[in-house]
Amino acid sequence: MIEGYFDGCMEPKNPGGHGAWGGVVIIDGKTVWSSGGYIGSGPKYSNNCSEYAGATAVIQECLKHDGVCIIKGDSKLVIMQLSKRWKVRGGLYRPFYEEAMVWWNKLKPRAKLQWVPRKENSLCDALSKKVLKDMGIRFRIQPNE
């Protein structure tokens, strides 16, 4: 069983702040990949962009491994839109959604999506925030975390 977790963050404001993602892939209980990345800053970016970037990175990593996958995240928007349960409208995240769908369509035959509460996604949350903290970004939305 392959488990992929993703998260995203945007600081010090949303939209328009700095965006980052975190992701982890676990195979049979062992972490085989964990990473985080920066997506950019400014008025073209929102937290949802960061969430989608994280989902894309995790899906791409899962494609490198054989087996059944479950992709988990605490973004209900990402989970519901990738699973086609919610419509995609406009939004700053639209290009990030479109890229995620390209990769998700490749993994989908052997995978499923699952929403998890934020407390079950703490490692990815920390990875995404570490990217921004290492850049010296000041946190305002979640300053004490």
Contact 129, 13 (CB under 8 A): no
Kindly tell me if the per-residue pLDDT of 143 is higher than 90: no
In sequence order, which ranges of the chain are alpha helices (DSSP H)?
Answer: 47-62, 76-82, 94-107, 122-134
The angle at the Cα of 77, spanning 25 to 18, to the nearest 5 degrees, equals 75
Banded pLDDT at 144 (limits 50, 70, 90): low
Contact 98, 56 (CB under 8 A): no
pLDDT in tens, 34-70: 999 999 999 999 999 999 999 999 999 999 999 999 9
Mean pLDDT of the chain: 96
Chain mean position to CA 77 = 11
pLDDT in tens, 71-102: 999 999 999 999 999 999 889 999 999 999 99
CA terminus-to-terminus distance, the chain: 31
pTM, full prediction: 0.96
The angle at the Cα of 91, spanning 61 to 132, to the nearest 5 degrees, equals 55
Give the chain's domains with CATH numbers: 2-134 (3.30.420.10)
Distance, CA of 141 to CA of 115 (rounded, Å)? 22
Distance, CA of 119 to CA of 59 (rounded, Å)? 21
Distance, CA of 112 to CA of 144 (rounded, Å)? 33
Kindly tell me if the per-residue pLDDT of 19 is higher than 90: yes
